[in-house]
């Protein structure tokens, strides 16, 4: 796959991931939808959208998804939604993708991957920017909600790792969403049969159909071209995007520190990716 196409796919996927944080936070903060209902509608709308996309565009007939990947997807989606009841968009994104990168980099190191000097420098620069952006001045998040988001990040890291080389990305994602939806529906039923807020349902549908379904298909298409370490570090851009989106939609301030930290994170990512290309990996 040409480098520019990989870059475009990865960028679109990161925008979709940030959109998920914003849509979930908007739904839970500004509507009366239950987290279980949000997750169920998110996965069901994603499954329906992906089924249509798979029928229209999938060329490779391999790949139907798996129950193991679906379980990881459901664990991520449920932990994500319930955690955002008590977390800001920025703090949730930090916890989520911190856990994601730790999971994926750990898996890469176990497989024998190593960070070169430039990649290590880029990773440390991006990590320092992320810490500088989100930690100083923020109140400590509620421990229970933070644990849920960390668990969601681990589950998403596992799901991403399982997506490498698993067949046509659209068909695989559609199959995983279809298998994961019953878990979310069960969680929604356990939470009660309260009326569904229509505005919240709209946010959930957008999260499932666009930010999740289409976004994950794009990510699955890019993943086979990325090493685990590179894929993990690239996702450090998501908290930056979520923070900037939160400033526009949730009235969070954008300060000089936000701008400097964002440049550090994106610059660190560029160094990691460039170091991979120089190494020929």
Q: Give the pLDDT confidence of 155-171 residue by residue, as tens digits.
A: 988 987 887 555 677 77
Task: Tally Cβ neighbours within 10 Å of residue 253.
Answer: 9
Considering the chain, what is the average pLDDT of its residues? 81
pLDDT of residue 164: 59
Chain centre distance of CA 270: 19
Least confident segment among 11-25, 56-70, 93-107: 56-70
The highest-confidence range among 45-54, 77-86, 102-111, 114-123, by mean pLDDT, is: 77-86
- Fill in the DSSP letter of residue 185: H
pLDDT of residue 106: 76
Q: Which region, left, alpha or beta, applies to residue 116 given φ > 0 means left and ψ of -120 to 50 means alpha?
A: beta
The residue extents of the domains of the chain are 3-279
At which residue do the structure tokens 């989606």 appear?
77
Instruction: Please give the span between the terminal C-alpha atoms of the chain, in angstroms, as a whole number.
Output: 14
pLDDT of residue 59: 62
Instruction: Say if residue 276 is exposed, middle or buried (CB neighbours under 10 Å; 0-12, 13-18, 19+).
Output: buried
Least confident segment among 130-139, 186-195, 238-247: 130-139
């Amino acid at each position: 796959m040409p480098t520019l196409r990989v870059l475009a796919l990865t960028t679109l996927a990161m925008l979709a991931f940030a959109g998920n944080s914003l849509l979930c936070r908007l739904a839970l903060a500004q509507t009366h939808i239950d987290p279980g209902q949000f997750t169920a509608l998110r996965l069901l709308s994603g499954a329906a959208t992906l089924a249509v996309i798979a029928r229209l565009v999938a060329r490779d007939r391999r790949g139907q998804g798996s129950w193991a990947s679906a379980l990881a997807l459901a664990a991520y989606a449920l932990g994500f939604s319930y955690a955002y009841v008590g977390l800001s968009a920025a703090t949730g994104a930090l916890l989520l993708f911190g856990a994601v990168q730790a999971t994926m980099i750990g898996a890469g190191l176990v497989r024998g991957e190593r960070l070169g000097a430039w990649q290590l420098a880029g990773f440390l620069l991006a990590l320092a920017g992320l810490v500088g952006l989100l930690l100083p001045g923020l109140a400590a998040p509620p421990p229970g909600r933070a644990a849920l988001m960390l668990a969601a990040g681990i589950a998403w890291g596992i799901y991403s790792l399982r997506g490498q080389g698993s067949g046509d990305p659209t068909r695989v994602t559609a199959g995983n969403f279809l298998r994961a939806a019953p878990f979310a529906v069960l969680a929604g039923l356990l939470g009660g049969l309260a009326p569904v807020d229509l505005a919240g349902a709209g946010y959930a549908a957008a999260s499932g159909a666009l930010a999740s379904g289409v976004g994950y298909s794009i990510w699955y298409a890019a993943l086979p071209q990325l090493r685990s370490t590179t894929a993990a570090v690239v996702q450090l851009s998501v908290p930056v995007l979520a923070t900037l989106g939160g400033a526009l939609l949730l009235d969070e301030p954008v300060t000089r520190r936000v701008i400097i930290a964002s440049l550090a994170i994106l610059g660190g990512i560029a160094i990691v990716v460039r170091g991979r290309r120089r190494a020929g990996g």
